[in-house]
Amino acid sequence: MSNERPWLAHYPHDVPAQIDVNAYASVAAVVEEAFDRFADRPAFASFGKQLSYGQIEALSRQFAGYLTGVLGLKKGDRLAIMLPNVLQYPIALFGALRAGLVVVNTNPLYTARELRHQLEDSGAKAIVVLDNFASTLQEVLAQTRVEHVVTTGIGDLLGFPKGALVNFVLKHVKKMVPAYHLPQAVRFRDALALGAAHPMPAVALDHDDLAFLQYTGGTTGVAKGAMLSHGNMVANMLQAGAWIGDLAKPGEEVIITALPLYHIFSLCANGLVFMRLGGLNWLITNPRDMPGFVKELKKSGFTALTGVNTLFNGLLNTPGFAELDFSRLHLTLGGGMAVQRAVAERWKKTTGCTLAEAYGLTETSPAVCINPLDLKDYNGSIGLPVPSTDVAIWSEDNQPLPIGDVGELMVRGPQVMKGYWQRPEETAKVLGTDGWLHTGDIARMDGNGYVYIVDRKKDMILVSGFNVYPNEVEDVVMQHPGVAEVAAVGVPDEHSGEVVKLFVVRRDPALTAEALKQFCHDNLTGYKRPKLVEFRDALPKSNVGKILRRELRDEQKKATA
């Protein structure tokens, strides 16, 4: 089936079957072209402050000078960036990539345990961290190989007096910046000033050089770094760019960036694809503040928006959203989790813009399939494979299945990762020598090449677009002395798609659900924490003693049906 490519006959009229992956040598080359071409255009906006492409170019050049000239970092060294959507993010990102460093995107909400693992595993030598999360870094720094710390406050690049006011309110009024002690840390603005005295290094980059270690949970529960090369990222930018075609006007788009740029979907779709088009990335630092989010939308004159189902649903349920001016909005893309039909239909009715669903993975940089962007209505599909991408449905014994049959979704293309960082055995489980990647997702393809997800990796839980791997949650819960056995499963939730539910056999009969939830709160980041706990005398098991999560899930489905 891999040779048939039925989807090509159903491509939008101006989308090519193949992209020229050699159009750019690196992500840095794409970014530098945008800096030149759109120098005077606004590139990023945050809290009312805008920076142009020319300003981002100059500041990222200074940051590259700091990383190499002051810190002495070399091509291939890893820099962790632990920031939400603030102006410092693109400056740090593009500075690092232009200096030939490998960016390790780090979720600012990580617990100390999760942060320590990622920093240790990646071997990061330096980190840029927001003040709000520096106390977590302080806890683990001594146990990592990080030598250099750069700290920054949300208001640091917003100018005076606004920036000082924002920082003051966050620290002293809202109490959102826990005290920390990192005596060796340098402030971001000081790093830029120091870097200005050093030339940006001339670094030769090609498709094989690593651009990102993008961490993703694994079925083992241990977060693994997907090695995304410059070639992978360039390919996906060109694939998505070709798909958008002339639907986006260079230098005129305003894309709302509410998903964190440390997430692969937002990083590529917003941070890179729209940058190449000279778009303005309108950064939303805290999308959970829905009324504040709607106020930002009102000011922005937005033309495009990416998000996950829960984000669209949240906006639709926020007073004032329906009254916004949607006259310029012509592109809404949903990914990260399944888009629900009810949400998509309500979105179309409210905004007049179709919510097109896309599908990707961290391991594929991320886009694999996207629906035609001129789609008239929601169709329940994840779309068609993007240019230069092969998709097939395979049986359990790795044989291609005929059209319409259900099996594992397989992907092959220039956007498929090089493998997992320093984990050859894990890589071999999912990536064949023939280039086919096992997604672990169960799907079918129709005669026109549209792909439909039937089920997900059997046990994975998807909370607001973030993967939660039951093994990791269970490993943490089993560390509680009062627990004998545990199974974690996903149960449907109106707000976040799914939430984590624990089924626990107690070792200590006095153990309460509250105590267990508190324990999880201390050891797991927000979206991984169980919302429901049920105590049982025994858990269902297979003949070899393996706990059967599927039975528990099916039981929950019946109970809620």
Residue 525 clears pLDDT 90, i.e. is over it: yes
Model confidence over 400-410: pLDDT tens digits? 999 999 889 99
Span 294-300, average pLDDT: 98
Residue 468: band (very low, low, confident or very high) from pLDDT cuts 50, 70, 90 = confident
Is 441 inside a domain boundary?
no
CB 483 within 8 A of CB 504: yes
Which tokens in the block code for residue 46?
């945050």
151-173 pLDDT, tens per residue?
Answer: 999 999 999 999 999 999 999 99
DSSP-derived secondary structure for 164-209? HHHHHIIIIIS--S-----TT-EEHHHHHHHHTTSPPP-----TTS
Does a structural domain hold residue 8? no
Looking at mean pLDDT, say which of 268-282, 325-339, 487-501 comes out highest: 268-282
User: pLDDT category, 441, cuts 50, 70, 90?
Assistant: confident
Does residue 62 carry a pLDDT above 80?
A: yes
- Look up tokens 């909005």; give the residue: 329
Mean predicted confidence (pLDDT) in 4-21: 96
pLDDT at 561: 74
- Per-residue confidence band for 336, with pLDDT thresholds at 50, 70 and 90: confident
Residue, of 475 and 266, whose pLDDT is higher:
266
Region of 489 please: left (phi>0), alpha (psi -120 to 50) or beta: beta
Is the same domain home to 125 and 236? yes
Looking at the structure, do residues 283 and 164 belong to the same domain, yes or no? yes
Residue 507 falls within a domain, yes or no?
Answer: yes
What is the Cα–Cα distance from 561 to 250, expressed in whole angstroms? 48
What average pLDDT score do residues 76-103 get?
A: 98
* pLDDT per position as a tens digit, 230-288: 999 999 999 999 999 999 999 999 999 999 999 999 999 999 999 999 999 999 999 98
Is the residue at 553 inside a domain? yes
More confident of the two residues 470 and 198: 198
Domain boundary among 351, 385, 419: 385
Are 312 and 343 in contact, with CB atoms under 8 Å apart? yes
The CATH code of the domain that includes 152 is: 3.40.50.12780
List pLDDT tens digits, range 91-131: 999 999 999 999 999 999 999 999 999 999 999 999 999 99
Total domains, the chain: 2
**Confidence bin at 457 (pLDDT 50/70/90):** low
Residue 85, pLDDT above cutoff 50: yes
Q: What is the arithmetic mean of pLDDT over 357-364?
A: 96
Beta-strand relationship, 497-506 and 483-493: antiparallel
Residues 130 and 244 in one domain: yes
In a domain, 406, yes or no: no
**Which pLDDT value is given to residue 546?**
66
- Judgement on whether residues 366 and 465 belong to the same structural domain of the protein: no
User: CATH number, domain at 535?
Assistant: 3.30.300.30
Domain-terminating residue out of 385, 411, 435? 385
As a whole number, mean pLDDT of residues 338-348 equals 87
| Overall average pLDDT of the 128-135 stretch | 98
pLDDT > 70? residue 395: yes
Looking at the structure, tell me whether residues 367 and 484 fall in a common domain.
no
Q: Are residues 351 and 495 in the same domain?
A: no
Domain of residue 58: give its range. 26-385
What's the pLDDT score for residue 29? 98
d(CA 256, CA 520): 33
Q: Are residues 357 and 473 in the same domain?
A: no
Looking at 385, 413, 431, the residue that finishes a domain is: 385
At residue 545, does pLDDT exceed 70? Answer: no
User: Tell me, what's the pLDDT at 455?
Assistant: 63
Say yes or no: 370 and 472 in one domain.
Answer: no
Q: Are strands 254-257 and 49-52 parallel, antiparallel or unpaired?
A: unpaired
Length of the chain: 561
Q: What average pLDDT is seen over the chain? A: 94
Distance CA 317, CA 311 (A): 10
**pLDDT at position 28:** 98
CB of 301 closer than 8 Å to CB of 254: yes
What mean pLDDT comes out for the span 516-540? 96
Please report which confidence band the pLDDT of residue 229 belongs to, taking 50, 70 and 90 as the band edges. very high
Whether 466 and 374 map to the same domain: the answer is no
pLDDT tens readout for residues 371-385: 999 899 989 899 999
Say whether both 43 and 127 belong to one domain.
Answer: yes
Distance CA(32)–CA(435), nearest Å, equals 31
Tell me, what's the pLDDT at 456? 60
Is 447 contained in some domain?
no
In a domain, 440, yes or no: no
Same domain, 512 and 375: no
Tell me what percent of the residues of the chain surpass a pLDDT of 70: 97
Structure tokens at 76: 């291939």
- Whether 219 has a pLDDT exceeding 60, the answer reads no
pLDDT for 2 equals: 43
Pair (254, 371) in one structural domain? yes
Q: What is the pLDDT of residue 147?
A: 98
